[in-house]
Amino acid sequence: MIRYDKVTVHFQGETSPMVVRGVAELAKSRFPGSGDPAL
């Protein structure tokens, strides 16, 4: 099992990335429609 403590998000057109912490729930989420894992 993969465990994440933080991820770095790069938005298109933005110059600096954003660090997201506490991503346990995000790691469990899926994209609507396709059902692919979010991470």
Instruction: Encode pLDDT of 4-35 as tens digits.
Output: 777 777 777 767 877 777 676 777 777 888 88
Q: Compare 39 and 10 and report the one with higher pLDDT.
A: 10
Predicted local confidence at residue 39, as pLDDT: 66
Predicted local confidence at residue 22, as pLDDT: 65
Q: Confidence class of residue 1 from pLDDT cuts 50, 70 and 90?
A: low
Contact in structure between 17 and 9 (CB atoms under 8 Å): yes
Q: Considering only CA atoms, which of 23, 31, 30 is closest in space to residue 2?
A: 23
Predicted local confidence at residue 38, as pLDDT: 72
